[in-house]
């Protein structure tokens, strides 16, 4: 949380540097392509998005946070640590995700996924030295993909309107609830390890772990804002996100 506040302060100061107001040039097009008013037009790629104004602001905010704060930190992290260490860090946090994946598989009655998840957690935690090595993943048993949003979807909870969350990005009302439930199920590894330390030491260690976790999370996501190059990226991302969630639930 403290890191997030620090980021926010840095970000606000970075956002202050602007380079004047853009003005239209002297050329005027002889034709104005009026916006089409045909209400019968089928819109196959339309997504339910009643809060588009808020969402677009948030998308904009996330993109700026990414560009001025988050990505520079992630790039430094990637430049300093060898690939193998970065992989180990990712493996530790991914291993802890097995807990919500297991619980959600059980809640959906998916026995095979639940057993894969449990097996991965047990083997990777023991033989894989606390999850540093993804023993089973390297052996061809990759992590399953289940979260509480999918569990709700599985039991018939509708996705609700599209919602862009600060930092987390594209989501929906249902999936937002899921994010918090899953987060509650993922323990911070420092709690168990540093119980004997003083309160201050324990708090700072756990804050550090959250910091590394945040950096690793961004490191693992390949998506980069505005990489599509299209000014219509918001629509594109909204459509792909919604479609992908729909399919994930069916799987």
Name the site residues for another protein (rule: CB under 8 A). 19-36, 41-45, 52-54, 56-57, 60, 63, 67, 79-83, 225-227, 229-232, 234-235, 240, 243-244, 247, 250-251
Q: Which is nearer to another protein, 16 or 29 (CB)?
A: 29
Q: How far is the CB of 107 from another protein (least distance, A)?
A: 20
Q: How far is the CB of 62 from another protein (least distance, A)?
A: 12
Pick from 160, 146, 152, 111: nearest CA to 248? 146
Q: How far is the CB of 65 from another protein (least distance, A)?
A: 12
Q: Which is nearer to another protein, 184 or 246 (CB)?
A: 246
Q: How far is the CB of 120 from another protein (least distance, A)?
A: 15
Q: Which is nearer to another protein, 27 or 155 (CB)?
A: 27
Q: Which is nearer to another protein, 42 or 196 (CB)?
A: 42
Q: Which is nearer to another protein, 88 or 209 (CB)?
A: 88
Strand 162-165 relative to strand 169-172, pairing: antiparallel
Q: How far is the CB of 248 from another protein (least distance, A)?
A: 9
Q: How far is the CB of 3 from another protein (least distance, A)?
A: 24
Q: How far is the CB of 24 from another protein (least distance, A)?
A: 2
Q: Which is nearer to another protein, 63 or 205 (CB)?
A: 63
Cα dihedral 64, 70, 72, 78 sign: negative
Q: Which is nearer to another protein, 174 or 245 (CB)?
A: 245
Pick from 90, 78, 80, 81: nearest CA to 216? 90
């Amino acid at each position: 949380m403290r890191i997030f506040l620090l980021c926010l302060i840095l970000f606000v100061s970075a956002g202050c540097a602007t380079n004047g107001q853009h003005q239209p040039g002297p050329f005027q097009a002889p034709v104005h392509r009026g916006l089409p008013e045909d209400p019968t037009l089928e819109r196959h790629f339309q997504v339910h998005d009643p809060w588009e104004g808020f969402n677009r602001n948030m998308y904009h905010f996330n993109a700026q946070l990414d560009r001025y704060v988050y990505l520079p930190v992630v790039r430094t992290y990637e430049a300093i640590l060898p690939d193998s260490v970065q992989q180990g860090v990712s493996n530790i946090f991914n291993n802890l995700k097995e807990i919500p994946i297991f619980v959600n598989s059980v809640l959906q009655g998916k026995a095979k996924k639940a057993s894969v998840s449990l097996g991965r957690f047990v083997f990777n935690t023991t033989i894989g030295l606390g999850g540093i090595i993804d023993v089973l993943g390297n052996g061809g048993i990759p992590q399953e993909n289940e979260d509480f949003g999918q569990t709700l979807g599985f039991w018939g909870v509708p996705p609700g309107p599209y919602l862009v969350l600060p930092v987390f990005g594209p989501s929906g009302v249902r999936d937002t609830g899921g994010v918090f439930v899953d987060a509650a199920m993922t323990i911070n590894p420092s709690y168990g390890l540093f119980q004997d330390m003083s309160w201050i030491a324990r708090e700072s260690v756990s804050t550090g772990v959250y910091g590394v976790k945040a950096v690793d999370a961004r490191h693992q996501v390949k998506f980069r804002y505005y990489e599509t190059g299209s000014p219509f990226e918001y629509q594109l991302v909204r459509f792909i996100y919604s479609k992908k969630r729909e399919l994930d639930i069916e799987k």
